[in-house]
Amino acid sequence: MNENKNQVIDENLYNKLEVHKCICCYDAPCSKLYKNINPERIIRAIKFDNIKGARSLIRNEEKCFEKDSTCNQKCPLNVNIDKIIKDLINETDKIENIEDIDVSTEICGVKLENPFMLSSSIVGSTYEMCKRALEFGWAGVVTKTICMMPIYESSPRFSAVKDWDGTFLGFKNIEQLSEHSVEENMNMIKMLKEEFPTKVIIASIMGRDEKEWEYLTKEVTKAGADLIELNFSCPNMKHKGTGSDVGQNPDLVEHYTRIVRENTNIPILAKMTPNITDMREPAIAAKKGGANGIAAINTIKSITNIDTDSFVPEPQVNGKSALGGYSGQAVKPIALRFIAEMVNCNELDGICYSGMGGIYTWKDAVEFMLLGCTNVQVTTAIMEYGYRIIEDLLLGLKIFMREKNFKKVSDFVGKSKANVINNDELEKDTVEFPKFNYEKCIGCGRCFISCRDGGHNAIKFNEDRKPTIDGSKCVGCQLCRLVCPQSAIGILPNRIKINKGQ
């Protein structure tokens, strides 16, 4: 791989900001301008952490792009599309032969053509929506949770913590369950199974009592669902003893799982709530009750923004709000933490994991799989960008597998599992010191400020606006590397032994 060339867009701040400016229009005006090249598709690949995929979308003959280009004028935000694409065209290394890579996997023994499914939510709530998603390439759908209680939703029902460009860092919803009747949902499952026999349809259900759990189990089994997901985790329920109330109570989890087990022979996933200290307890209870797999995580109870004029949190429903479920990018680290704890728990051996929470890119998905999930589910990223994100999930995954020489998904599932250990077991006798790359450094001084005010005051910022390290003060925390906007701080090749207590 050509290091320097790959850094043009990965690490060049100007290009990064230009790519960030792209808002991924629907039917983007820029996509119509050229016969062989689709700038929208290429820039979207870069945005979704798939720079190599973006490069693979440009073929040799498309170098003609350099001669004639009116893209920039068509872009509503005047993104410098020309420059982004030309930089990519100049990078010659391409990923070849990725079409044949086998990305199939499984969920509780049921084959999935790839690891990517819609998670239970609005994104899989009607036949038309599921059909469109499956046609786009998603391997399966978990239905919006089917229930027998009346569902009346509030308006508005979402709020988002946004980045400066408007993208969602985190997303809050105060939505409940499927507003469609059991009958409508059963028709949807039957039609989807008929039309897409090789795709996986998972029925998400929630009962208010034993009778409802039993009834819903029998109905979805009859309708032809491949698996059942038990929603023990919705944080927005009105009825006591439902949703996350159940997920916080291992006895109830075991009880309801057992009722479902006794009434179906298809695999069962228990969906866990993160609104709990230790997810292993309800997960073990679900296993005892007969669950084959764990789905995690559902949303995290939250308040996002409080309006400082009206003093009402968002979303504001006639002057009031409620706690709601937080999802999207912000929750991924919390989801990964819960998965890591469960996969390393002996009592949960043999359980299949379906991971979710903040998956936007192929890399996010691979992180869940490296911990031990055989498949993943997505909602918030689809709500923000649409089903089309499957293109970069698949392309990025294939490139990752080609580069690492993984022949099948199971070759890397669980590879990071043993690398999560207790803090007190980590080696603390040596230090990894930072090293400045002055060719890349733009002299902004961000490393200096952070080290002075939030580190160990180990960086000097000289008159020529170049930072230097004071080795006697540096503890190797590497805050400087994290704040550097240019990725201009690397590390010294060897860890240095330190004398403790001196």
Instruction: Give whole-number Cα distances, 279 to 259, 269, 285, 420, in Å.
Output: 21, 14, 10, 17
- The Cα 424–Cα 144 span in angstroms is 42
Whole-number minimum distance, CB 259 to ligand FMN, in Å? 18
Q: Does 260 bind ligand FMN (CB under 6 A)?
A: no
Tell me whether residue 266 or residue 383 sits nearer to ligand FMN (CB atom): 383
Stretch that binds ligand FMN, among 92-100, 347-355, 377-385, 420-428 (CB under 6 A): 377-385
Q: Which is closer to ligand FMN, CB of 54 or CB of 174?
A: 174
Other C-beta atoms lying within 10 Å of the C-beta of residue 240 = 8
Q: How far is CA 8 from the centre of its chain?
A: 25
Q: Does 202 bind ligand FMN (CB under 6 A)?
A: no
CB of 326 to ligand FMN, least distance (A): 8
Q: Which of 161, 233, 220 is nearest to 185 (CA)?
A: 220
Is 390 a residue that touches ligand FMN (CB under 6 A)?
A: no
Q: Which CB sits closer to ligand FMN, 171 or 256?
A: 171
> Candidates 65-73, 336-344, 376-384, 440-448 — which segment interacts with ligand FMN by CB under 6 A?
376-384
x/- mask, ligand FMN, residues 28-47, rule CB under 6 A, reads --------------------
The position carrying tokens 């704890």 is 341
Does 185 participate in binding ligand FMN (rule CB under 6 A)?
Answer: no
Write the binding mask 288 to 327 for ligand FMN: x where contact by CB under 6 A, - elsewhere.
Answer: ----------xx---------------------------x
- Is the CB of 31 or the CB of 176 nearer to ligand FMN? 176
Kindly report the CA angle at 399 between 342 and 355, in degrees rounded to 5? 20
Sort strands 375-378 and 352-355 into parallel, antiparallel or unpaired: parallel
Q: Which of residues 453-492 bind ligand FMN (CB under 6 A)?
A: none
Which of residues 357, 372, 396, 455 is near ligand FMN by CB under 6 A? 357
Which residues neighbour 112 within 8 Å (Cβ) at sequence distance 6 or greater? Answer: 104, 105, 106, 139, 140, 200, 375
The interface region with ligand FMN, picked from 18-26, 127-135, 167-175, 412-420 by CB under 6 A, is 167-175
**Eight-state DSSP code of residue 320:** B
CB 192 within 8 Å of CB 131 = yes
Candidate ranges 60-68, 172-180, 430-438, 472-480; the one touching ligand FMN (CB under 6 A): 172-180
Other CB atoms within 10 Å distance of the CB of residue 438:
11
Omega of the bond leading into 315 within 30 degrees of 0 (cis): yes
Interface residue with ligand FMN, options 359, 390, 469, 489 (CB under 6 A): 359
Taking the least distance from each CB to ligand FMN, the nearer of 186 and 474 is 186
Q: Which is nearer to ligand FMN, 353 or 461 (CB)?
A: 353
Per CB under 6 A, does 361 bind ligand FMN? no
Counting contacts by CB under 6 A, is residue 52 touching ligand FMN? no
Burial class (CB in 10 A: 0-12, 13-18, 19+), 289: buried
Pairing of strands 324-327, 300-302: antiparallel
Told to check if 328 binds ligand FMN by CB under 6 A, we report yes
Q: Which is nearer to ligand FMN, 173 or 257 (CB)?
A: 173
Q: Does 378 bind ligand FMN (CB under 6 A)?
A: yes
| Active site amino acids | 234
- Any contact of residue 279 with ligand FMN (CB under 6 A)? no
Per CB under 6 A, 204 contacts ligand FMN: yes
- Contact between 231 and ligand FMN by CB under 6 A: the answer reads yes
> In this structure, what DSSP letter does residue 355 have?
E
Contacts to ligand FMN from residues 108-137, by CB under 6 A: 119-122
- CA 430 → CA 15, 435, 454, distances in Å? 37, 16, 22
* Residue whose structure tokens are 């867009």: 9
Helix 280-289 crosses helix 332-343 at what angle (to 10 degrees)? 60
The CA distance from 410 to 469, in Å, is 44
Contact 263, 290 (CB under 8 A): no
Give the total of residues touching ligand FMN (CB under 6 A).
27
CB neighbours of residue 343 within 10 Å: 22
Length of the chain: 502
Of 212, 220, 236, 209, give the one whose Cα is nearest residue 269: 220
CB of 175 to ligand FMN, least distance (A): 5
Find where tokens 């490069």 sit: 55
Give least dist CB 100 to ligand FMN, A: 29
Q: Smaller CB distance to ligand FMN: residue 98 or 253?
A: 253
CA triple 25-28-31, angle to 5 deg: 145
Of these, 249, 321, 374, 380, which contacts ligand FMN (CB under 6 A)? 380
Provide the binding-site residues for ligand FMN, judged by CB under 6 A. Answer: 119-122, 144-145, 171, 173, 175, 177, 204, 231, 234, 271, 298-299, 327-328, 331, 356-359, 378-381
